[in-house]
Amino acid sequence: MIVLLWTGIGLAWAKSNGNTTGNFLKMGVGGRGVAMGESHTASVNDATALYWNPSGLGLLTQSEIAFMHSNALEGVTQDVLYYARPTETKGVWGVGGSFLKVDGVKGFTNNNVETGDVEASDTLITLGWAKSWENMWWLPGLNTGANVKALKKTLDTDTAMGYLLDLGVLYEVQGDRLTGARAGLVIQNVGTGLDFNGEKTSFPTMMKLGASAPLFGDNMTVSGDIVLPTDGSAYVNAGAEYRVWEMMAFRMGYKGNNDLDSGITYGFGLGNERIHLDYGFIPFGPFGDSHRVSVSFRFGANYRQVQVTSQVDVAYKRALARYAQGYMVEAYMQANQILAVAPWHRPAKLLAKRIETEFKHMESGAMQEQLQSQVDDHFARGEQFFQVDDLLRARREFQAILALQPDHMGAKTYLNRIDERFQSLTDKFYDMAVQAFATGDYAQAGELAEKVLKLNPDYTDARDLKGRVDTVLKEVQVFEEEKRLAELKAPLTQSGRELFEQKRYEESLAKFDEILAMDTADAQALRMRDQAKEMVAKEAYNAGLRAARGGDMAGALALTKKALRYKPDFAEAKELLKSLEVTKGADDEEKSKEYYKESLDKFLAGDPQKAYELAVKALELNPNNVEAQRMRDRLANR
């Protein structure tokens, strides 16, 4: 018998009283959450919500892939791969795998003889779902979610399987002074436990209560969790993140159950809204240090479109963040850009007004010098834009400077030059648009007219020209479509006429139906189709008369019905159909009697099977044939 010895690995990531297993489930996923002291119940905002709080998946609007590699301790490695995909109406789905491997685990016999290293690993598969209830008017910031997980534990040749459930809820405050603050609740690892070599142990079930809040114009996030585990005492995790230039973040945290070191964690992040790299560091005292590196990538279309008000709020947060960082001119520009599309946005109005007031009442020489340095930076940027003919961006820079320093002569001079350039460009583009229209290049004329209107929306002649271009282009489009249809219909029309002249009326009818499928209003096709139907009906009627005279009642009936199908008001065909139905009824009754007589003869001759078949035929022709009914029933009972 082999005895497998775990070399103190459990101490590395959890404080346990020995009543639970699967402590691998406690190892944090993702550099951001780990660096913030694992206080991530409320602050999670990516695919790693599959670990921290499944309801956080509801915040995703794009598909995301996340990967993490961790050197937990010497000989212990962990790799995690998560994928999350939002849908139009059915929430956000996520799936992932977490794989832990332990090297250097020794195996021994009962006699304490070493047998060499043995395999020791854990594999966790997670399926998650979350839903954002943003359209619920009474609690629009609510998100809910759940995970279903399967854990496989391997020690040498022995394995054990267990199944788990996570439930989570996350709420983000909307539309008041605490906008952006969050509160979360998650219950993790409720499950079957593991039965390993006859020893039944439970999973490390825990409940976490978390909160997070943005500070300093959304430049900073602070978070905290209260963790209530079933296998130990309650403890607190806390963390903070500070963002710089919207592409770098520094993080620090405190992990309350790390008895092996101070509990301090830290790390950083790099990236943008699409791709992100995160690093987290956890010291474990005498056991060494743990490093977590994760990469996430978002891609694809937005499945849940963000409302205009939300977009404005995001832009306002950016402006407020620049203001908090001291970039007042840039913040002022962003606030005015918001007001250009959302003049009703009161916070942006107040921010712009506050910046204007601060410029007017600057008392500190150091502050004056700092703000003047920002003005000079924007002036230099405006000059650069002007030099490369990016006049719109140059104008924005100089207008922002004049709004804060109305006597800035350099900005005034450049704005005058920009206005002159604009006027020159608009006149030039308009003349080119008129020439393009005159030569029949309507698409080019429309593009040039649009350029004029972008430079000067009040250019009346350009707007009139654009209207004429749109009208002509629509007429050209209609003409081209009519031409295309005519080219398609011409051979069909010719073929249909030829078939009609050859008295192949049904084939001719098919051609004209094909034309009418493309153009229901084609008068010629409508007329020829009606004529073809008339001829098909007459041919079928005449063939039906001939079949009736020849005694083929079934054929006559089919042909007469065909005539009426193509010409429902065909009076002669209606009369013929009535006559044929009467005649056929009499013929069927007579034939039914003959079948009955044959059935009786077969019965008397000792062939009940044949007698039964003939009785059934008699009833098919005349269901009211009483003798045939009796014969059939008598033989059926036998």
What CATH number is associated with residue 351? Answer: 1.25.40
Q: In the predicted model, is pLDDT for residue 349 greater than 90?
A: no
Q: Are residues 600 and 538 in the same domain?
A: no
**Tokens in use for 189?**
């690892």
Q: In the predicted model, is pLDDT for residue 313 greater than 80?
A: no
Q: Mark 200-231 as b/e (b = at least 16 C-beta within 10 Å).
A: ebbbbbbbbebbbbbeebbbbbbbbbbbebeb
Residue 476 lies in a domain: no
Give the confidence band of 107 by pLDDT, cuts at 50, 70, 90: low
Q: Are residues 253 and 378 in the same domain?
A: no
Q: In the predicted model, is pLDDT for residue 17 greater than 60?
A: no
Range of the domain at 519: 503-569
Average pLDDT rounded to a whole number, residues 496-520: 91
Q: Are residues 251 and 229 in the same domain?
A: yes
Average pLDDT rounded to a whole number, residues 262-271: 91
Q: Are residues 174 and 136 in the same domain?
A: yes
The Cα–Cα gap between 343 and 339 comes to: 4
Domain stops at, among 248, 265, 299: 299
Q: Are residues 91 and 151 in the same domain?
A: yes
Residue 589 lies in a domain: yes
Average pLDDT rounded to a whole number, residues 241-257: 89
Average pLDDT rounded to a whole number, residues 425-444: 87
Average pLDDT rounded to a whole number, residues 421-432: 82
**Tokens in use for 420?**
């002159």
Domain stops at, among 276, 299, 322: 299
The pLDDT, as a whole number, for residue 353 is: 86
Q: Are residues 345 and 203 in the same domain?
A: no
Most confident segment among 369-373, 411-415, 418-422, 510-514: 510-514
Number of domains comprising the chain: 4
Q: In the predicted model, is pLDDT for residue 341 greater than 80?
A: no
Q: Are residues 278 and 346 in the same domain?
A: no
Total residue length of the chain: 638
Residue 68 lies in a domain: yes
H or E element, residue 614: helix 608-621
Q: Are residues 289 and 330 in the same domain?
A: no
Considering only residues 7 and 348, tell me which one the structure prediction assigns the higher pLDDT: 348
The pLDDT, as a whole number, for residue 145 is: 96
Residue 480 lies in a domain: no
Q: Are residues 241 and 98 in the same domain?
A: yes
Average pLDDT rounded to a whole number, residues 489-509: 91
Q: Are residues 38 and 81 in the same domain?
A: yes
The pLDDT, as a whole number, for residue 280 is: 93
The Cα–Cα gap between 319 and 42 comes to: 24
Q: In the predicted model, is pLDDT for residue 420 greater than 50?
A: yes
High-pLDDT (> 70) share of the chain, % = 89
**Weakest-pLDDT range from 98-102, 109-113, 302-306, 427-431:** 302-306
**Weakest-pLDDT range from 14-18, 70-74, 149-153, 589-593:** 14-18
Give the confidence band of 426 by pLDDT, cuts at 50, 70, 90: confident
| DSSP code for 140 | T
Average pLDDT rounded to a whole number, residues 340-356: 82
Give the confidence band of 259 by pLDDT, cuts at 50, 70, 90: low
Q: In the predicted model, is pLDDT for residue 15 greater than 70?
A: no
Average pLDDT rounded to a whole number, residues 34-49: 94
Nearest Cα neighbor of 259 from 280, 240, 232, 238 is 232
Average pLDDT rounded to a whole number, residues 272-277: 88
The Cα–Cα gap between 25 and 35 comes to: 18
Residue 414 lies in a domain: no
Q: In the predicted model, is pLDDT for residue 364 greater than 70?
A: no
Q: Are residues 54 and 132 in the same domain?
A: yes
Considering only residues 341 and 55, tell me which one the structure prediction assigns the higher pLDDT: 55
The pLDDT, as a whole number, for residue 411 is: 86
The pLDDT, as a whole number, for residue 16 is: 41
Average pLDDT rounded to a whole number, residues 14-38: 75
The pLDDT, as a whole number, for residue 11 is: 35
Most confident segment among 27-41, 298-312, 334-348, 384-398: 27-41
Give the confidence band of 165 by pLDDT, cuts at 50, 70, 90: very high
The pLDDT, as a whole number, for residue 2 is: 29
Q: Where are the alpha helices (DSSP H) in 22-135?
A: 31-35, 49-52
Considering only residues 269 and 420, tell me which one the structure prediction assigns the higher pLDDT: 269
**Tokens in use for 101?**
């491997």
Most confident segment among 62-66, 343-347, 348-352, 485-489: 62-66
Written as one letter, the residue type at 521 is: A
Average pLDDT rounded to a whole number, residues 152-164: 87
Q: In the predicted model, is pLDDT for residue 63 greater than 90?
A: yes
Give the confidence band of 38 by pLDDT, cuts at 50, 70, 90: very high
Residue 131 lies in a domain: yes
**Weakest-pLDDT range from 27-41, 386-400, 457-471, 491-505:** 386-400
**Weakest-pLDDT range from 26-35, 128-137, 525-534:** 128-137
Considering only residues 172 and 357, tell me which one the structure prediction assigns the higher pLDDT: 172
Average pLDDT, the chain: 83
Average pLDDT rounded to a whole number, residues 276-300: 85
Q: In the predicted model, is pLDDT for residue 403 greater than 50?
A: yes
The Cα–Cα gap between 379 and 399 comes to: 10
Nearest Cα neighbor of 538 from 511, 512, 576, 493 is 576
Give the confidence band of 44 by pLDDT, cuts at 50, 70, 90: very high
Beta pairing partners, 105: none
Average pLDDT rounded to a whole number, residues 457-470: 88
Say if residues 617 and 628 touch (Cβ distance below 8 Å): no
Residue 443 lies in a domain: no
**Weakest-pLDDT range from 11-25, 36-50, 276-290, 317-331:** 11-25
Residue 282 lies in a domain: yes
Give the confidence band of 120 by pLDDT, cuts at 50, 70, 90: confident
**SS3 category, 503:** coil
What separation in angstroms does the CA of 557 have from each of 506, 536, 572, 586, 591? 19, 16, 13, 14, 18
Q: Are residues 179 and 234 in the same domain?
A: yes
| DSSP secondary structure letters along 374-433 | HHHHHHHHHHHHHHTT-HHHHHHHHHHHHHH-TT-HHHHHHHHHHHHHHHHHHHHHHHHH
Domain stops at, among 385, 407, 429: 407
State the first-to-last Cα distance of the chain, in angstroms, to the nearest integer.
Answer: 75
What separation in angstroms does the CA of 149 have from each of 32, 95, 162, 203? 23, 10, 8, 12
